[in-house]
Amino acid sequence: MAFAKKAAQVLGVIANGSFKSSRFAGRSVDSRSFTSLAHGVHVFHCPDEVGIVAKLSDCIASRGGNILGADVFVPENENVFYSRSEFIFDPIKWPRGQMDEDFLKLSKTFNAMRSVVRVPILDSKYKIAVFASKQDHCLVDLLHGWQDGRLPVEITCVISNHGRGLNTHVIRFLERHGIPYHYLWTTKENKREEEMLELVQNTDFLVLARYMQVLSGNFLRGYGKDIINIHHGLLPSFKGGNPSKQAFDAGVKLIGATSHFVTEELDAGPIIEQMVERVSHRDNLHSFVQKSENLEKQCLLKAIKSYCELRVLPYEKNKTVVF
């Protein structure tokens, strides 16, 4: 079996390492050596064949790098391979440009559909724009997560179809940090999408922090990059508007929040993260909403963080691999 052969090859390539449940660890490194080393992450998606893990390991080791951990996923009965590797290296011995060339060569060798490498201390942070409507809880939590350093992104602007007063918490926060706020009043006839596209053209991905407008197919195609949304319900159940009331009326015992990629089909994009909380007959609609909002904040932040850490890969038509 291809996967078993890969595991055997890895054991031969990585001295003193172990391979357990599709995850292997690199050699232990003297903590004193970390001061001059940089941390890198590489993700790989290609057709499955024997030797991929060995070649990935050799690519890093041949430049003096050391794998700290790696995840591998080979779906049963499918000829496809996914991996995510974390490694440390000396930027002097392995310059950033050379690293790109090495992984590009590997990508061509295996006809990879995706090969991405990031070095957080050397690479620019992901640039994002945040879309929001009237409700603030997801937006505020995202802003504070960014301020605290929990989100490795640069927020270029906040776009909203809801006006906010100059003395509101959100506006004061944005002004204090020099983040533009764009209020674009929308109607059914005019969604202001051309203006939005101009505002977000230099971003790497978008975040919908409870933005209660449906983005058109023209917008999605015009933007052409990933958009992450938070839905206040446990998809695929309770799609559309007012999912908390839908769940309450259905008498559910678990409520949830779902972060997913945006597609033309409403609330049907590939799921990145889901969180749940137990409810009971003692809960009313108000407590349903409160619990849901708390889940939404956590779920959205975790999805963004996972995306920035290269943990999310497309899988089949409408799924994701999340390492």
Closest CA to 69 of 35, 22, 107, 104: 22
Sign of CA dihedral 99, 105, 109, 112: positive
DSSP labels, 112-175: -SEEEEE-TTTSPPEEEEEEE-S--HHHHHHHHHHHTT-S-EEEEEEEESS---TTSHHHHHHH
Tell me which of 71, 136, 204, 267 is the catalytic residue: 267
> What is the C-alpha to C-alpha distance for residues 270 and 220, in angstroms, rounded to an integer?
15
Q: Which residues pair with 314 in a beta bridge?
A: 320
58 is catalytic: no
**Tokens for 68?**
């700290």
Torsions phi, psi of 94, nearest 5? -130, 85
Q: Which residue carries 């937006």 as its tokens?
A: 139
Torsions phi, psi of 235, nearest 5? -65, 150
> What is the C-alpha to C-alpha distance for residues 66 and 180, in angstroms, rounded to an integer?
41
CA distances from 67 to 28, 80, 81, 306 (A): 9, 22, 19, 20
Report, as residue numbers or ranges, the catalytic residues.
Answer: 267
